[in-house]
Amino acid sequence: MTVLDCAGRTLDLSRPRVMGVLNVTPDSFSDGGAFLAPERAVEQARRMVSEGAAVIDVGGESTRPGAAQVPLEEELRRVVPVIEAVAAEPDVVVSVDTSKPEVMRAAVAAGAGLINDVRALRAPGALEMAARLDAAVCLMHMQGEPRTMQQTPHYDDVAGEVAAFLTERVRACEAAGIARERLLIDPGIGFGKTLEHNLSLLKHLDALGGLGLPILLGVSRKSFIGAVLDRPVGQRLYGSLALAALGVWQGAALVRVHDVAASAQVLAMCQAVRAAP
């Protein structure tokens, strides 16, 4: 599948594409508070589009370990005005990073074409809501819950278990009436996984290729990069770019990043080599 229908806007995945992160939160691990004001968020979205982002992922609730839950009305207040403004821009798909069915509905009504759910539509009512909407859906693997997921995660075969989980969620979506042509999958790097789990999953990312769905990869600035390189969050660009290239080479179709311009250049070079005779 090379073209994803995102509520009427098409996302061409015949080459790897960049998803720009836009957190309208006070407490996200990397850019919390930077774009909480709607006008600053929209300005940042436009900047990322100009740098090569095909998708802007708008999130109103941090999913970092230990983050506080955000009430429904507050999450709506944060994301809906930004989605409306960004969706007015041409040639970009807007994604909403949420697990709440009410936010999914409001976001799609405001112009979002992709639902990016770290809980893979397991929250009460989320699967049914996504089935009623015409947006694409990204199903992510996560062991546990965001606030406790890094407390002793365990796997016997991390790549196999992630693939099995995502296979089950794809089947649940199909049973609910969500066509495969609307789905992406995300291995959930950093979500309920140790350093060793993350590295092994990245090494064996091609194990997810058997599902026959586009893979979204989110590794940008994550803590396991800091653990390997001994760098704080603001100094993890090179590690993030290396993992983006490795991920694309193993089949990732969409890479979720904070640093759009640099990432877009890396992906363009990967694609140039892949397309060479």
Dump pLDDT digits (tens) for 36-91: 678 888 899 999 999 999 999 999 998 777 677 899 999 999 999 999 999 998 88
3-state class of 153 per DSSP? coil
Annotated catalytic residue within 17, 119, 221, 256: 256
Residue range 192-223, pLDDT digits in tens: 999 999 999 999 999 999 999 999 999 999 99
Which range of residues forms the domain containing residue 204? 3-275
186: enclosing H helix or E strand: strand 183-186
Count of beta carbons in the 10 Å neighbourhood of residue 101: 22
* pLDDT on residue 230: 98
Contact of 144 with 118, CB cutoff 8 Å? no
**CATH number where 37 lies:** 3.20.20.20
Q: What confidence tier does 144 reach under pLDDT thresholds 50, 70, 90?
A: confident
Structure tokens at 235: 């100094």
Q: How many domains does the chain have?
A: 1
- C-alpha torsion 228→253→99→121, nearest 10: -120
In 175-259 the beta strands, taken as DSSP E runs, fall at 183-186, 215-218, 252-257
Q: How many CB atoms are closer than 10 A to CB 73?
A: 9
Mean pLDDT of the chain: 92
Active site residue 221: no
In the prediction, which pLDDT does 1 show?
62
Element (H, E) at 157: none
Which of 78, 182, 222, 236 is an active site residue?
A: 222
* 100 is a catalytic site residue: no
Residue 185 pLDDT > 60 = yes
